[in-house]
Amino acid sequence: DAGVIQSPRHEVTEMGQEVTLRCKPISGHNSLFWYRQTMMRGLELLIYFNNNVPIDDSGMPEDRFSAKMPNASFSTLKIQPSEPRDSAVYFCASSLKGPGTQYFGPGTRLLVL
């Protein structure tokens, strides 16, 4: 059974450009999470969706970040405009239900020059 799928795996872009990260959760999971990993802060929860509805976006750093989940099998995290300090690994995770074990995708390594 396929796990959480993320694309692209690597992204290099220039400051000011729009970046879109994509995630396909495990089929049947109704909760989806976006995390950002940095050396200084570890894994930080950015946003949590339950049944495609954003429940908690308190971790989204600023208005440049937005996330959508148009259906149960797809989510995007968009950064516009991107800045060098956004460089990090972005993980998507899903779980059967909110409090359940979270299954992480392989991550997208983003470098903003």
Q: How far is the CB of 81 from other proteins (least distance, A)?
A: 27
Q: How far is the CB of 90 from other proteins (least distance, A)?
A: 11
Residue 95 binds other proteins, judged by CB under 8 A: yes
Q: How far is the CB of 74 from other proteins (least distance, A)?
A: 18
- Nearby residues of 48 by Cβ (< 8 Å), 6 or more positions away: 31, 32, 33, 54, 55, 56, 57, 98
Q: List binders of other proteins among 16-75 (CB under 8 A).
A: 31, 33, 35, 39-45, 48, 56
Nearest to 80 by CA among 112, 107, 35: 112
| Residue 41 DSSP label | T
Nearest to 22 by CA among 4, 7, 1, 40: 7
Q: Which residues bind other proteins (CB under 8 A)?
A: 3-4, 9, 31, 33, 35, 39-45, 48, 56, 91, 93, 95, 98-99, 101-107
